[in-house]
Amino acid sequence: MPNRRRFLKAVSAAPAAGALTATSAPAAPVKRDFFKELGIKPFINAAGTYTTLTASLMPPEVVAAYEYASKQFVHLIPLHDAVGARIAQLIGCEAAMVTSGAAGALVVGTAACITGKDHSKIVRVPDVAGMKNEVLVQKAHRYGYDHAVRATGVKLIEVETREELERAVNERTAMMLFFNDADPRGQIKMAEFIELGKKHKVPTFNDAAADVPPLENLSKYLKAGFDLVTFSGGKNIRGPQSAGLLLGRKDLVEAARLNSSPYSDTVGRGLKVNKEELLGMMVAVERFIKLDHDAEMKEAERRVKYIADSLRSCPSVKTDVKVPPIANHVPHLHIRWDYSKIQPRDVVKQLLEGEPSIEVVPGSREELVVNPWMTQPGESEIVARRIREILKKAGA
């Protein structure tokens, strides 16, 4: 009893909860400069939506959805269902799921083509012995990201012609992989590739990660007949950078879901998509579809023209505006000058090390390539001024 008496005495002596609240208002959160604390220097992005440069910035409505989701608990599987259904409705496709980027979509989409909804197969991947375990791909379509396909345990079978592909198809063929940006380089063009997939009843998967804008591409490749298509969510759609979209046949998207998180014992268990990314991606798609894309493109053209015009006072400078035909289909400014005055790599170095730091298109060695698509208001003017200052100082 003495311990209990001491406890009750202490409680009676403590201030009432209301009194504590009235006299102890919570302190306002301290605004922190996290990048400065960590020694990380932000930069003006005059390069584009490269993953290593953190791609794009989420617009306010996407950030708001992300923050909204962060404050509540929900069941993840029905949220995945509802968001996927909403995105499919917006785009006009059979089914959709939010993935951990386009690379995550390649993993779980390929797994879906191997296993279907067969749980006994799902738990075995990447041990695909005895299953459909080959993926056909054109030699010209091989690229670094096909590692995500190989992560499922499949073997990539390279072909170059229609005849080679038809000879390679067999009972082990799980899927046919198509890299959208490589279409001009491959001998089997898109329509023929799709036709061959349907002829041999093999699912076709198109990696179109960086291939919006234009807006119509979101549905174009599915309408052309691909069974699965993936887009990056964090590039020009401007959703969370770690999110992506897998679109296509309902049965394959459902199988991809079963090969992914939150289901345990799956090849995609580590490819988590949280509630924040799910809502953020949904809102990003809603926003992207409503955008005035003509106005967006005109603004991009204005930015490159401004930079080009600002360099006219540099005697040896020549500029061209080029728009890549498929991936990153936005205006890029190509800048050349008398390289005996200063080399492109040195201009890149000075831009990066200056204040503010500026990134241009990676690999600018033969010429300087600037893509101001991701610049914020006023930043393309800063980019123009800095390039002009560097070239003028060098006498170019």
Question: What DSSP string describes 8-60?
Answer: HHHHHHSPPHHHHHHH-PPPPPPP--HHHHHT---EEEES-S-GGGT-----H
Q: Are residues 317 and 263 in the same domain?
A: no
| pLDDT averaged over every residue in the chain | 94
Q: Are residues 298 and 279 in the same domain?
A: no
Which of 259, 290, 321 is the last residue in one of the domains? 290
Q: Are residues 282 and 296 in the same domain?
A: no
Q: Please name which of 142, 135, 94, 92 lies closest in space to residue 113, comparing C-alpha atoms.
A: 135
- pLDDT at residue 10 in the model: 47
Q: Please name which of 215, 230, 220 lies closest in space to residue 330, comparing C-alpha atoms.
A: 215
Q: Are residues 117 and 158 in the same domain?
A: yes
Which of 263, 290, 317 is the last residue in one of the domains? 290
What is the C-alpha separation between 266 and 98, in angstroms, rounded?
17
Q: How many domains does the chain have?
A: 2
pLDDT digits (tens, 9 = 90+) for 296-355: 999 999 999 999 999 999 999 999 999 999 999 999 999 999 999 999 999 999 999 999
pLDDT at 112 over 50: yes
Please report whether residue 125 resides in a domain. yes
What is the C-alpha separation between 132 and 110, in angstroms, rounded?
11
pLDDT digits (tens, 9 = 90+) for 239-290: 999 999 999 999 999 999 999 999 999 999 999 999 999 999 999 999 999 9
Please report whether residue 337 resides in a domain. yes
Instruction: For residue 159, give the CATH number of its domain.
Output: 3.40.640.10
Q: Are residues 256 and 300 in the same domain?
A: no
Range from 215-219, 230-234, 365-369, 386-390 carrying the lowest mean pLDDT? 365-369
Q: Are residues 334 and 210 in the same domain?
A: no
pLDDT at 233 over 50: yes
At residue 227, the 3 state secondary structure works out as: coil
Q: Are residues 300 and 328 in the same domain?
A: yes
Q: Say if residues 44 and 377 touch (Cβ distance below 8 Å).
A: no
Range of the structural domain that residue 172 is part of = 74-290
142 half-sphere exposure, CB direction, 13 A CA radius: 10
Q: Are residues 142 and 167 in the same domain?
A: yes
Please report whether residue 347 resides in a domain. yes
Q: Are residues 238 and 300 in the same domain?
A: no
Read off the amino acid at residue 314: C
Which of 241, 269, 290 is the last residue in one of the domains? 290
Please report whether residue 182 resides in a domain. yes
Instruction: For residue 374, give the CATH number of its domain.
Output: 3.90.1150.180
For residue 354, how many other CB atoms are within 10 A of its CB?
Answer: 14
Banded model confidence at residue 25, pLDDT cuts 50, 70, 90:
low
The dihedrals phi and psi of 175, each to the nearest 5 degrees, come to -165, 160
Q: Are residues 332 and 215 in the same domain?
A: no
In the chain, what's the furthest Cα-to-Cα distance?
A: 95
